[in-house]
């Protein structure tokens, strides 16, 4: 492909759209920030891109619940075209508030089928951090599956988080087992040695230390950490002490893997 095209979805309260657009551009995509109302008016614009990103922030002030209002808009106005978007092999990424949107639409983990959107969800949700407060810090992530195209298998990441509702909860042990055993866990919170543990290793108390989920296709990723906030080495909190500043930053791996996948498959 001459140029991979991406849409970064905007709405009132979204505040990480410019950083996400920048990260996609660094990865080699032609990214455009588009308001949800424009997509609702002209949903066919999704046919012209290969990557859809729902970035972080506080869409509509999280007044009902984190990501709920934007999720409702997606389900009521874009369900069919988004289902076709995923069926056609294209990529969807939801970051922080965007992850909350994806999980409240049922797009991830997608236990009922890829791209099947429903307000009822799938018995999985994101709720208030167990610590009872907003968390803003850097954490380690360990890949939990080889299926997700956004992930570099085996590479442990170090990324920032910034959220108040990031605790993954399933409605039953059986559903949690299905998610964990079925390869739907994209990343888990770990320490520097790759081991799971209690707070602060698991900063929000997520069940099974889940930090990110993918669907059955591996082409959809929802994650609480912010890869768009670590796309240059100088953004690392200890960058002056790093032994090297070459190669991709941990955040850039997510966007570069997505762009490379599109280039190889479209």
CATH of the domain at 134: 3.40.50.880
Burial class of residue 260, CB neighbours in 10 A (0-12, 13-18, 19+): middle
Whether 87 is catalytic is no
**Of 96, 148, 163, 236, which residue is the catalytic one?**
96
Greatest Cα pair distance, the chain, in angstroms, is 50
Whether 76 is catalytic is no
**Of 16, 49, 226, 236, which residue is the catalytic one?**
226
Please say whether the beta carbons of 5 and 48 come within 8 A.
yes
What's the structural domain count of the chain?
A: 1
- Residue 93: strand pairing partners: 53, 221
- Per-residue confidence in pLDDT tens, the chain, 266 aa: 678 999 999 999 999 999 999 999 999 999 999 999 999 999 999 999 999 999 999 999 888 888 999 999 999 999 999 999 999 999 999 999 999 999 999 999 988 765 556 555 678 999 999 999 999 999 999 999 999 999 999 999 999 999 999 999 999 999 999 999 999 999 999 999 999 999 999 999 999 999 999 999 999 999 999 999 999 999 999 999 887 778 899 999 999 999 999 999 99
Whether 96 is catalytic is yes
Please say whether the beta carbons of 48 and 38 come within 8 A.
no
Domain of 234? Answer: 4-265
Reading across the β-sheet that carries 51-54, which strands appear in turn? 29-35, 4-10, 51-54, 91-95, 220-223, 210-214, 185-190, 135-143, 157-163
Residues 142 and 211: their CA atoms lie apart, in Å, by 9
Burial class of residue 162, CB neighbours in 10 A (0-12, 13-18, 19+): middle
Q: Which of 93, 85, 238 is nearest to 151 (CA)?
A: 93
């Amino acid at each position: 492909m001459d140029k991979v095209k991406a849409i970064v979805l905007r709405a009132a309260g979204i505040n990480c759209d410019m950083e996400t657009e920048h990260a996609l551009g660094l990865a080699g995509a032609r990214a455009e920030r588009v308001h949800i109302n424009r997509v609702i008016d002209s949903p066919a614009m999704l046919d012209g891109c290969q990557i859809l990103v729902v970035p972080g922030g506080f869409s509509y002030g999280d007044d009902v619940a984190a990501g709920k209002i934007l999720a409702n808009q997606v389900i009521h106005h874009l369900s069919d075209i988004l289902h076709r978007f995923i069926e056609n092999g294209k990529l969807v990424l939801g970051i922080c508030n965007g992850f909350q949107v994806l999980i409240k639409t049922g797009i991830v983990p997608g236990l009922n089928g890829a791209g099947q959107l429903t307000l009822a969800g799938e018995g999985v949700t994101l709720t208030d951090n167990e610590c009872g407060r907003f968390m803003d810090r850097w954490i380690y992530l360990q890949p939990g599956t080889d299926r997700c195209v956004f992930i570099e298998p085996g590479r442990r990441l170090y990324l920032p988080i910034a959220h108040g509702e990031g605790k993954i909860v399933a409605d039953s042990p059986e559903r949690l087992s299905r998610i964990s055993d079925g390869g739907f866990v994209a990343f888990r919170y770990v320490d520097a040695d790759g081991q799971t543990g209690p707070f602060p290793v698991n900063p929000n108390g997520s069940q099974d230390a889940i930090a990110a989920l993918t669907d059955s296709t591996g082409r959809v990723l929802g994650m609480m950490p912010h890869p768009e906030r670590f796309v240059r080495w100088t953004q690392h909190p200890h960058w002056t002490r790093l032994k090297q500043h070459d190669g991709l930053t941990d955040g850039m791996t997510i966007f570069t893997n997505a762009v490379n996948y599109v280039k190889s498959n479209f």
